[in-house]
Amino acid sequence: MSAATAVFARPLLATEHSEYDVGAERVALALAARRGEPLATVLPMIGNPEYDAVAPELAARGDAVAADRLQHLQALAATQGVRLAIQVRRGRDLYREIVDEATATQADLIIIRRRGRPGLLANLLLGEMVSKVVAHAPCSVLVNRREALYWRQRVLVAVDPAALALETVTVAARVALDSGLPLAVVCVAETGPDPGTQRALVAAVAHARSLGAAADGEVLVGKPHAQILEAARRGDADLIVLGRHGATRLSRAWIGSVAQKVVGLAECPVLVCVSPLAAQIGAT
């Protein structure tokens, strides 16, 4: 697969090269190896110009840490035959450095870990930095747990019957086609099947098939995040694709959203697709 035919032409790996970034790095390097192109990488670090001027020894220590991480990361990439194009960015907010780098490089995909350190409700909630990246990203975001692997079995896309986003289905279909995998389409009705849910499913499956994907679909009943996760487990899906709804500033918080719960609990990578409107709002 060449960069010209790739689903995502300008992926960006965001990593601190910590133990929590292992899965994201593994998936990003596999994607880069398939593309046969250098992998753009951003290594964000906490930095404060005013504080650094007062305590330059701390800034120098931070630079040494960054250099060590870069050396190890480049060595890891070399074992996969991948060349990295790394940018170190320092600022007060790690998420902002990642988002700004994605904007500056016109990235169409950010590849990132799921969370930093375990804690209360760690099985449900994303780390704050990662959650903010997903909420503010100008492009789609691929979130990976520490054990993440590149998908090889089935792609699952979850569509919202109340706000059917065919752009998300398009991305899922192209990823499935690119990987030579079947595509499962699920649509969840919380209180029981209804005509609107069925229409959304039929439209999504038809759209995926029109793009050449081997797609099938089903309507599920129950709590959306639980049904999506169970469908992925039952169908051996190893990539879940969702849409990010971002039509208001309030929606950036993702509090209690289906997407946040799926991303936080999934056993496989989760691709959160961002529509152009959501990207414009999230980046402001």
Question: Is the pLDDT assigned to residue 198 strictly greater than 70?
Answer: yes
Specify whether 69 is located in the same domain as 191.
Answer: no
pLDDT tens digits for range 73-109: 999 999 999 999 999 998 889 999 999 999 999 999 9
H/E stretch holding 25 reads helix 22-35
Question: Is the pLDDT assigned to residue 161 strictly greater than 80?
Answer: yes
Across 170-185, average pLDDT: 96
What pLDDT is recorded for position 259? 85
CB of 32 closer than 8 Å to CB of 1: no
Q: Is residue 29 part of a domain?
A: yes
Q: What is the pTM of this model?
A: 0.87
* CATH number of residue 62's parent domain: 3.40.50.620
Specify whether 116 is located in the same domain as 164.
Answer: no
Lowest-confidence range among 187-191, 211-215, 265-269?
Answer: 187-191
Q: What rounded mean pLDDT belongs to the chain? A: 84
Specify whether 39 is located in the same domain as 91.
Answer: yes
Rounded Cα distance between 123 and 118, Å, is 8
Where does a domain end: 144, 168, 184? 144
Q: Is residue 3 part of a domain?
A: no
Where does a domain end: 85, 112, 144? 144
What pLDDT is recorded for position 153? 97
Specify whether 137 is located in the same domain as 189.
Answer: no
CB-based contacts of 10: which residues, under 8 Å, 6+ apart? 40, 105, 106, 107, 108, 109
What pLDDT is recorded for position 120? 43
Confidence of residue 70 (pLDDT cuts 50, 70, 90): confident
Neighbours of 55 (CB within 10 A): 11
Q: Is residue 101 part of a domain?
A: yes
Q: What is the residue range of 114's domain?
A: 11-144
Rounded Cα distance between 208 and 216, Å, is 9
Across 116-136, average pLDDT: 67
Rounded Cα distance between 7 and 61, Å, is 39
pLDDT tens digits for range 14-47: 999 988 999 999 999 999 999 899 999 999 988 7
Question: Is the pLDDT assigned to residue 180 strictly greater than 80?
Answer: yes
Mapped onto helix, strand or coil, the DSSP state of residue 221 is: strand
